[in-house]
Structure 1
């Protein structure tokens, strides 16, 4: 087994999207090869409805898949195909935009006004850029949760982990999407397929991730370091951890425990031509999409 090195640790940055939704972006609109096949990751979390209630009005997508995971509050959604619905706490929606779709997402807080969720964009390979759009809406009750002997809890949203398989299937990037909670002080080694790009996003508590490239600085190994883990050396809320290659990661939770997403997928390794919510392979394809948006031919008839 080989431990994945930590290539980078960085905080998500505040930004605004939609009609004025305040959120934090962990990555997006940068180098698309960095976390190929993933393009963007947003953490939309707020206690003030004025900072999210205007939502994400009608907008297009083509050439990608969007994955929305709601932790608290609700998201009402509708699209140009006539689909409507509501995502509640713990629910997931995996939308394959394919050849093109217009949709809107309008968040609503819980009884206390709190709203929290994530959206991840995954690229589609050239062979599937113009596939027919489809949805997979998954309720919280359908997502398997594993509880290990040490109290570690893992929700398996996509992919297979510890003998359980998530309910979302048929995704081009063949991803693994896990929601992992560690009790205070728990150290855990978790497997990841060697051939996948991987990142973690820490959103509750604090944790340290072992770095194989700098073993002398690994504070996880108390028996080696001869000291307690220093919380100052741990990552905290809204932190992205980008990993190198290997087949496992090691993480230790701090004194308040830790909760993070662990996401990995098979790289597509194709050219990317990107403009907002439209991601194609060439500039010509991008220009075609923009022309179709203007002349009303963006949405393709169902076959």
Structure 2
């Protein structure tokens, strides 16, 4: 008998003024309980309505984890590093890297940016960048359900993105009143973030609505489980995140994730001494353009 996943926690994150100044609203979806969210460290829903040409953002370091960016609307970056609506990027900060995000023109933008943990044995991995444009994203159209798969395997398709930690990320749209059953590993920590509409989840048919985050129960078993969903009268669009927990302790400080406080101090020293290279300088073989 298949294991059905159920909602066990529903959260209503509030937006707050972001660090990019006027027009920036940041909604923290994950931010303060890694034991619960493992392997997900942080997830922000950033909305920017920029009215001027004053540059915001700038260079900043990362180390010990991966940043995972899904552009929902607008554009981010420039030149070879520009991401547009529907594009996806995974940056492995690993041993340490400097990253620059500067926005200097009017426009609207919305991105979901996740910090995903690295296993202890890969925390010092060589930095790499993986770009997956919308045109190359695997898409499944099954009756009344559309799935854009950015990472992992789901619904019979597999993303080209390479993962140190097994990670499923999918943008899912279900037509009004339609039902869908998706198979995901039973042991993966899984949550849904509703972008539009509402959905009933599981055999208990628990409702989840726009802007809510719904966490599923974890089953400590190998094999697959079923995510049963039925869209409300307006249909539903949500982003599914599912990842294999690492069950490893971490130390977090500012832009760095490490195994100990001593490692954090070392990372800050490396950054101040200019030993962390910019992500734009990674060797071509470390920049995957799928």
Same fold (TM over 0.5): yes
C-alpha separation in 1, matches of 2:60 and 2:263 = 18
What does 1:23-38 correspond to in 2, within 5 Å? 23-28=26-31, 30-38=32-40
Alpha carbons 2:175, 2:236 under 8 Å: kept: yes
What does 1:176-215 correspond to in 2, within 5 Å? 176-210=168-202, 215=204
Alpha carbons 1:108, 1:115 under 8 Å: kept: no
> Which residue matches 1:278?
256
Alpha carbons 2:55, 2:105 under 8 Å: kept: no
1:172 CA displacement: 1.1
Alpha carbons 1:160, 1:166 under 8 Å: kept: yes
> Which residue matches 2:65?
64
> Which residue matches 1:162?
155
C-alpha separation in 1, matches of 2:52 and 2:27 = 12
Equivalent residues, number: 273
Alpha carbons 2:52, 2:105 under 8 Å: kept: no
CA-to-aligned-CA distance 1:126-178 (integer Å, 9 cap, x gap): 111111100001111110111112x2000011111222111212x11111111
Alpha carbons 1:174, 1:265 under 8 Å: kept: yes
What does 1:66-145 correspond to in 2, within 5 Å? 66-76=67-77, 84-107=80-103, 113-145=107-139
SS for the counterpart of 2:124 is coil
C-alpha separation in 2, matches of 1:73 and 1:148 = 27
> Which residue matches 1:263?
241
1:195 CA displacement: 2.1
1:293 CA displacement: 2.5
Alpha carbons 2:199, 2:209 under 8 Å: kept: yes
> Which residue matches 2:44?
42
C-alpha separation in 2, matches of 1:198 and 1:272 = 20
Cα 1:254/1:55, change in 2 over 3 Å: farther
1:107 CA displacement: 4.7
> Which residue matches 2:287?
none
C-alpha separation in 2, matches of 1:163 and 1:52 = 44
Cα 1:259/1:109, change in 2 over 3 Å: farther
SS for the counterpart of 1:13 is coil
In the alignment, structure 1 segments of 5+ residues that lack a partner are: 79-83, 220-233
C-alpha separation in 1, matches of 2:56 and 2:228 = 37
SS for the counterpart of 1:157 is strand
> Which residue matches 1:236?
209
CA-to-aligned-CA distance 1:229-259 (integer Å, 9 cap, x gap): xxxxx33222111111241222221111100
CA-to-aligned-CA distance 1:100-122 (integer Å, 9 cap, x gap): 11112235789xx3322211110
Structure 1 moving runs of 4+ over 6 Å:
300-303
Q: Normalized against structure 1, the TM-score is what?
A: 0.82
1:302 CA displacement: 7.6
SS for the counterpart of 2:263 is helix
C-alpha separation in 1, matches of 2:282 and 2:84 = 29
1:199 CA displacement: 0.9
C-alpha separation in 2, matches of 1:124 and 1:77 = 27
> Which residue matches 1:229?
none
Q: Which has the higher strand share?
A: 2
C-alpha separation in 2, matches of 1:183 and 1:52 = 39
C-alpha separation in 1, matches of 2:192 and 2:125 = 29
Cα RMSD after superposing both structures = 2.5
Q: Normalized against structure 2, the TM-score is what?
A: 0.86
